[in-house]
Amino acid sequence: MDFALSPEQQMIYDYGGKVAQSFDHKYWLEKARKFEFPRELWQQTAEDGFAGLMVAEEYGGGGLGLLEMALLIEGMSNHGLPLLMYVVGPTMSLGHINQHGTPEQKSRYLPDAAAGKTIFCFAITEPNAGSNSMRIQSVAKAHGDRFKLNGSKVFITGVDVSDYAVVVARTTPHDQVSRKTDGFTVFIVDMKAKGVDFHAIDMSLVNPEQQFTLFFDDVDLGPDDVLGEVDKGFEILFDLLNPERVTIGAMACGIGRFAIEKAVAYTSERVVFNGPIGAYQGVQHPLAAAKTQVELSSLMLRQAAWQFDRGEEAGPAANMAKYAGAEAGIMAVEAALQAHGGNGFTHEYGLYDLYSMARLLRTAPINRELILNYIGEKVMGMPRSY
């Protein structure tokens, strides 16, 4: 395997440093503390061609893959600019439409989305199902060749700034299918459609994208709103979830690097007793260990993305990348916080704000325990635990 990035991939990875010259971490943090979407940053990245990175060139995109998207998200996070909307929109939603949409759907949705003119979110999690997606209760009941969607979703990122949502629902209820994976259908839902409503969730998380509960009340959908095949949505669902795991892992690695670099700069200048505190092993070793874990995680996520782009089975590597990245990100921010002492908890340094974001990624979009269950069963061949 060639570990070297191509010149184009290196440019994508380095883009975070370029855009940070105009929209730095202070900009992101100001938006995050106000729960305000960083629209100027979003528009700049779209104008620079990155919202459509995974969209085919004929629809105005870059025609690239998950590896390039992971490099973009990791590179931006390296500079303190983690954007969850790039996971749920350009990665999960646009990548899915690009791969599984009809020519008419691609022509209708992708050009404007690739240009940043429209924004997509993604909705699967439900209040009574949580991580058990087999038990989702949102149902799109058939009426002739049309559907009426009813139900609710929870912890949906960026609903307020989104024009459309890619929604996973059941067209056959759980208790009426022979296999629990049957009966799923993926829809494209207009957020302005009659019967769509949403409410913000009051979160302690410091992040510019808000979380929402999303409600559907007899939302009218037609056959042209179906993404893929009716009742067979589960067959393509992991084309959404594996990229989510990879890009979340990339974000976590970037947050970890950013925190470590801040700590290295601080501890190289902060003098206590006989010299800079960065010379003390008690400060240096935790940061060095965290740096090692971040770089190991980054290699795993690149392997997962590479496998996905080649059409290979990417589930094991994607899950391990998400687990490793989240743990490494927390480890890095924790070490950086400790190295800063009391200053790490001040608004001026902003490190504790980063901790809430890093800690989120251990739990969402899938928690550490379920990933370890997957690895135990699917990768190691151990007995099923749930």
1 is a domain residue: no
Question: Do residues 219 and 241 both lie within one domain?
Answer: no
Give me the residues paired with residue 88 across strands.
none
129 is a domain residue: yes
Residue-wise DSSP of 138-190: -EEEEETTEEEEEEEEEEEETGGG-SEEEEEEESS-GGG-SSTTTTEEEEEEE
Give the per-residue SS3 of 234-256: HHHHHHHHHHHHHHHHHHHHHHH
Q: Is 100 within 8 Å of 188 (Cβ atoms)?
A: no
Question: Do residues 141 and 209 both lie within one domain?
Answer: yes
Phi, psi (5° rounding) for residue 298?
-60, -40
386 is a domain residue: no
Question: Do residues 177 and 283 both lie within one domain?
Answer: no
Last-in-domain residue among 75, 101, 118: 118
Phi, psi (5° rounding) for residue 66?
-65, -35
**Digitized pLDDT (tens) for each residue of the chain, 386 residues in all:** 678 999 999 999 999 999 999 999 999 999 999 999 999 999 999 999 999 999 999 999 999 999 999 999 999 999 999 999 999 999 999 999 999 999 999 999 999 999 999 999 999 999 886 666 777 889 999 999 999 999 999 999 999 999 999 999 999 987 888 887 889 999 999 999 999 999 999 999 999 999 999 999 999 999 999 999 999 888 888 778 899 999 999 999 999 999 999 999 999 999 998 899 999 999 999 999 999 999 999 999 999 999 999 999 999 999 999 999 999 999 999 999 999 999 999 999 999 999 999 999 999 999 999 999 999 999 999 999 87
Strands 211-221 and 146-157: antiparallel
343 is a domain residue: yes
Strands 226-227 and 275-276: unpaired
What pLDDT score was predicted for residue 28?
A: 97
Q: Global pTM?
A: 0.96
Question: Do residues 138 and 149 both lie within one domain?
Answer: yes
Question: Do residues 13 and 85 both lie within one domain?
Answer: yes
Phi, psi (5° rounding) for residue 167?
-115, 130
339 is a domain residue: yes
Domain count, the chain: 3
Question: Do residues 48 and 162 both lie within one domain?
Answer: no
* 26 alpha-carbon distance from chain centroid: 21
Question: Do residues 374 and 243 both lie within one domain?
Answer: yes
Question: Do residues 177 and 142 both lie within one domain?
Answer: yes
Question: Do residues 128 and 105 both lie within one domain?
Answer: no
Last-in-domain residue among 61, 84, 118: 118
259 is a domain residue: yes
Question: Do residues 89 and 132 both lie within one domain?
Answer: no
Last-in-domain residue among 232, 259, 286: 232
Question: Do residues 257 and 173 both lie within one domain?
Answer: no
56 is a domain residue: yes
143 is a domain residue: yes
CATH of the domain at 36: 1.10.540.10
CATH of the domain at 216: 2.40.110.10
Question: Do residues 227 and 243 both lie within one domain?
Answer: no
CATH of the domain at 352: 1.20.140.10
Domain range spanning residue 157? 121-232
